[in-house]
A and B are shown apart, each in its own frame.
Chain A
Amino acid sequence: MSAPLIDLVGVRKTYRNGSLSVDALRGITLQIRPGEYTAIMGPSGSGKSTLMHIVGCLDVATSGSYHLAGENVGEMSEVELAQVRNRRVGFVFQQFNLLPSQSAWRNVELPLLYAGVGRDERRRRALAALDRVGLGDRAEHRPGELSGGQQQRVAVARAVVTEPALILADEPTGNLDSTATADVLALLRDLHDGGSTIVLITHEAEVGAQATRRVVVRDGGIVADEATAGVRAP
């Protein structure tokens, strides 16, 4: 068995607001190996978003330890965290979060820009990533000229362009109709088949059923962790 890509041990996260403190996570221990397709599920307020922020190095735990690909994230400075996010994690958000004034390939090249990749290689790799999501012919279109499903596929291209160890998708189908949802889920499935490690955060059971492992979070703790069949989208 290979070393875990994600290794959370006793992770707690407490938000303080004056005298009020809320425990969003109450001791999470979770290992995810490379190549796994994991769905983190739970109702809103369960702490799954907080967990996603910590796994994605957007936030740090109050206590407990988190190693991503063997590196201790808890002890990193803000600059090092930015570097880890850039190199190790590809994000797909519910809101797409594309820059509206920039063409599709300009959006896709952004992580490469922050990685210090040269201009020509950035363009080449961005176009290749767009090809991978089937939007090679839409490279010069702006997000406003694309459908919701196409925008989310551009976002997926942006997530994979750096070939990160981990793809973190936060409710990626929350704003999509059923056809576009199927498109995006098929895309994630293809990435999984290609060997990518995917963590999918969702509250929809049929979306979660796509993954090969299901982790259910409730009240800041893990209440279920089971392998699933990983059915293909209908």
Chain B
Amino acid sequence: MTWLETLRTGWDAIRTHRMRSALTTLGILIGIAAVILTVGLGEGAQGQVSAQINALGSNLLIVSPGSSTSGAGVRGGFGSASTLTVGDATALGSKVAAPDIAAVAPITQRSEALTAAANNWTTTVVGTTPNWLSVRARALASGRFLTEADEAQDAAVVVLAPTTATELFGSTDVAGQSVTINNIPFQVIGVLTSAGSDSTSNLDDQAIVPQATASTRLFGGSTRTSVQSIYIEATSGSTLSAADQEATSELDNLHGVSALNQDFTITAQQSLVNTVTSVDRTLTVLLAGIAALSLLVGGIGVMNIMLVSVAERTREIGLRKALGARPATIRNQFLVEASVLGLAGGLFGAVLGIAGAIVVPHLIGNPISISPTATAGAIAVSIAIGLVFGVYPATRAARLAPIDALRSE
């Protein structure tokens, strides 16, 4: 008897018991769909996190003004003082003191109203240096970025992010146009490409001006030499901790502080990302584990139904044996039946899982990525489950003595 004929016989048996087969398949179906969805959810979350890394610039350290200690010995909270200065940024940029730091960009930012012709738009105005572009891993869509000359001359020039340009001018091709910030006319010299958004701000809605221009002409006041934070780009991912140490000791020296009374905090973007990613991964493993358990339950369901099927069809097995079916033929027939049930569950489960991966993100807002490898793997696993859980019932069927089988009612 060929495999094709065995397959046909198994398929006939499944078709004869439609309801029972459908219910058996359901167990596998739910398990496979759950596996595809949870793995997809986990991978989607990890993809989102790594997209955020890229948006923030890789190998990034962020120096924030930290806890300051007042004369009375009262330690203020995070960000209670603005202790970082343009000088700090320049010092950190020195290749001698900090060989593992590739570039440094001080940041001062404030929300301002921008006016171009009849349009008003309030956005975040960022004062920074030419290094910002590489530190934040951004690119220009048109025009040019800030230069050292702009910095030296306190030039009234601005680079707009795409959303800001569109809101003000209705297009992104606006280099050379004029925009008014805080009653000072600025010339638009370039437009950035889109970068999406990170967890806290819209990266496509910003206006970038030279640090010197921002501190002397726009923001003024006490912020003249101080900056809100300093972005440091390490030379590579492996020198990140070395860059961290160099920055720490350099700032300790400049501020005359030690680890006990540091007035700044250095956050490695990567370490945050690693934490988030590993939490995500743990969650994914946990969810996939639960999904795998439901697959196991589905498999036991298949075994259960196959045992019922063998018991119910004892007479049929006896007849087939009397007509010349060998034990191996009977065993294969039931194995095929079980694996077809598994395969059907796997296929329908994959369809349901993929449909879920398309629909669910619209409801909960989390991305779900569909992995072809995981899907193919899940279908293979579903056949394997059918086979594994079919072996015992099939062997029982194959071992039935023909006369006992024929006698049963």
Known: A99-B316, A101-B16, A113-B1. A58 touches B323 (CB 8 A): no
Report 11 cross-chain contacts, Cβ distance below 8 Å, ordered by A residue. Answer: A56-B322, A58-B402, A59-B401, A85-B323, A86-B323, A91-B323, A95-B315, A97-B315, A101-B16, A111-B324, A115-B324
* Known A110-B320, A113-B1; contact A82-B16, beta-carbon cutoff 8 A: no
Interface members, chain A 81-132 (any B CB < 8 Å): 82-83, 85-87, 91, 93, 95, 97, 99, 101-102, 110-111, 113-116
Majority SS of interface residues in chain A? Answer: helix
Chain A residues, Cβ within 8 Å of B5? 113
CB distance from B340 to the nearest CB of A (A): 16
Let me know if A204 is at the binding interface, CB within 8 A. Answer: no
Q: Other than A58-B406, A59-B402, A86-B324, give 15 A-B pairs with Cβ distance below 8 A.
A: A59-B401, A78-B327, A79-B327, A79-B328, A82-B324, A82-B326, A91-B322, A97-B319, A110-B320, A110-B323, A111-B323, A114-B1, A114-B325, A115-B324, A116-B1
* Contact present for B316 and A114 (CB under 8 Å): no
Instruction: Please tell me which one of the listed residues B15, B324, B327 contacts residue A85 in the complex, with CB atoms under 8 A apart.
Output: B324
Question: Which of the residues B13, B15, B325 comes within 8 Å of A82, measured between beta carbons?
Answer: B325
Q: Are B403 and A59 in contact (CB under 8 A)?
A: yes
CB distance from B373 to the nearest CB of A (A): 38
Across the interface, name the chain B residue whose C-beta is closest to A106. Answer: B12
Q: Is A93 a contact partner of B329 (Cβ separation < 8 A)?
A: no
Q: Which of A51-96 contact B (CB under 8 A)?
A: 53, 56, 58-59, 78-79, 82-83, 85-87, 91, 93, 95
Give chain B residues whose Cβ lies under 8 Å from the Cβ of A78. 326-327
In the complex the two chains form, is A114's CB within 8 Å of B403's CB?
no
Q: Does B321 contact A (CB under 8 A)?
A: yes
Once bound together, how far apart are the Cα atoms of A158 and B323, in whole Å?
9
Do most interface residues of chain B lie in helix, strand or loop, or is the interface mixed?
helix
Write the nearest CB–CB distance from B405 to chain A, whole angstroms: 10
The 5 A-B residue pairs whose C-beta atoms are closest, nearest first, are A86-B324, A114-B324, A101-B16, A97-B319, A111-B323
Q: How far is the CA of A110 from the CA of B318 in the complex (A)?
A: 13
* Closest residue of A by beta carbon distance from B402: A58
Contact check, A87 vs B322: say whether CB atoms are below 8 A apart. no
Considering the chains assembled together, what is the distance between the CA atoms of A181 and B83 in angstroms?
110
Residues of A within 8 A of B320 (CB): 110, 114
Find the residue from B1, B319, B320, B406 having the highest chain A CB count within 10 A: B319
List the A side residues contacting B325 at CB < 8 Å.
Answer: 82, 114
Count of chain B residues near A, Cβ 8 A? 23
Residues of A in contact with B (beta carbons under 8 Å apart): 53, 56, 58-59, 78-79, 82-83, 85-87, 91, 93, 95, 97, 99, 101-102, 110-111, 113-116, 158
Contact residues, B365-409 vs A (CB, 8 A)? 401-403, 406
Residue from the list A53, A82, A101 in contact with B403, Cβ < 8 A: A53
Residues of B within 8 A of A116 (CB): 1
Which residue of A is nearest B13, CB measured? A101
Tell me, in angstroms, the Cα distance from A85 to B329 when the chains sit together.
15
Minimum Cβ distance to chain A for residue B320 (Å): 7
Q: Which chain A residue has the least Cβ–Cβ distance from B15?
A: A101
B324 near A87: Cβ-Cβ < 8 Å: yes
Please, how many angstroms separate the alpha-carbon atoms of A160 and B315 in the complex? 21
Q: B9 CB to closest chain A CB, in angstroms?
A: 8
Collect the chain A residues with CB atoms within 8 Å of residue B316's CB.
99
Q: Which residue of A lies closest to B316 (CB)?
A: A99
CB-based nearest A residue for B398: A78
Question: Hey, which chain B residues are within 8 Å of A59, CB to CB?
Answer: 401-403
Which chain B residues lie closer than 8 Å to A83 at the CB level?
324, 326
Q: Which chain A residue shows the least CB distance to B328?
A: A79
CA of A86 to CA of B326, assembled, Å: 10
CA distance A113 to B323 in the complex (A): 10
**Given the complex of chains A and B, what is the CA–CA distance between A86 and B315 in angstroms?**
17
User: Who on chain B is nearest to A87 by CB?
Assistant: B324
Q: Which residues of A are found within 8 Å of B403, using beta-carbon distances? A: 53, 58-59
Q: Return B325 CB to nearest CB of chain A, in Å.
A: 5
Across the interface, which residues of A come within 8 angstroms of B328, CB to CB?
Answer: 79
Q: Which residues of A contact B315 (CB under 8 A)?
A: 95, 97
The residue on B at minimum CB distance from A117 is B1
CB closest residue in chain A, given B330: A82
Within 8 A of A (CB), among B4-29: 5, 12-13, 15-16
Q: Tell whether, in the assembled complex, residue A85 and residue B322 are in contact, meaning their CB atoms are under 8 Å apart.
A: yes
Q: Which of A79, A87, A99, A116 has the most CB of B within 10 A?
A: A99
Query: How far, in whole Å, are A82 and B16 apart by their CA atoms in the complex?
Result: 26
Cα-based distance from A92 to B247 in the complex (angstroms): 95
